[in-house]
Amino acid sequence: MKQAINAQYQPAPGSAFVDKILASQRRKMFDAFLEFKKGNASDTTLNVGMMPGPLFEKPDLLNAWCDQKERSRILSYQIEPPSAGQNSADRGATSAAELQLPFSDGAFDWVFCNEVIEHVGAGERQFALVRELYRVARKGVFVTTSNRKHPIEFNTGLPLLHLLPQGAWQRLLRLGGKRHWTTPGVLNLIDAPALYRFAERLPGSPQHDVGHKRVFGAKAHFFLMVNKTPQAA
């Protein structure tokens, strides 16, 4: 992980059509985070994102859309992007050590993590990220991700193919010149039940819920909300 040095908003990859949908969805999720935290004006936020890399540019929603006073209470921190071209699932995914945040327990009131969890590996690595975000938060955690069951796959910009068995989907991606998206650790889509399972495993059995934003009537993006204190709702 490395500290953010550039807070500029970057457009999402893919077609202009998918970009337009993503811009609208991301604004809705940003608004949902503000509604979720409803904290004191002096509350601090850790903004955990993905470092820009050759595969994609992830937007820094907080620094793009918060006002100057709010930005002064935000610390942005970025995770190294996954690398393409690795064959091993272990090498292709972000290691557990790389997911450790260099902050003390409860260092920030809120932790916001946008479109990162699907790029750190699968299963236990994804839970390890949620656990670290929870550890450094005092009041709550907010984690966004796209829905693996939506007809549009928002990372590749392709419709329907990701609904096929994984092997068939990956073969078609290779044939379509998108081999990098088949690398272990680069893209591991999840759904709402997985987010609920991660939250249920956190120490202290915190209050939690998963919200969603729809596209074409279907749930397109999820956001996990974890409350560490009753008043953080």
pTM of the model: 0.88
Q: What CATH number did the domain enclosing 74 receive?
A: 3.40.50
Residue 74 lies in a domain: yes
Residue 197 lies in a domain: yes
Residue 136 lies in a domain: yes
What's the total number of domains in the chain? 1
Residue 3 lies in a domain: no
pLDDT at site 52: 84
* CA-wise closest residue to 129 among 189, 54, 209, 49: 49
pLDDT at site 83: 67
Written in H, E and C, the secondary structure of 3-31 is ECCCCCCCCCCCCHHHHHHHHHHHHHHHH
Residue 1 lies in a domain: no
Domain extent at residue 95: 13-35+43-232
Residue 6 lies in a domain: no
Residue 8 lies in a domain: no
For 39, the token pair is: 């904290």
Residue 2 lies in a domain: no
* CA-wise closest residue to 213 among 11, 20, 9, 22: 22
pLDDT at site 115: 95
Each residue's pLDDT expressed in tens, for the chain with a length of 233 residues: 444 323 333 343 447 899 999 999 999 999 999 999 987 889 999 999 998 877 777 889 999 999 999 999 999 999 988 765 544 444 445 666 778 999 999 999 999 999 999 999 989 999 999 999 999 999 999 999 999 999 999 999 999 999 999 899 999 999 998 988 988 789 999 999 999 999 999 999 999 999 999 999 999 999 999 999 764 33
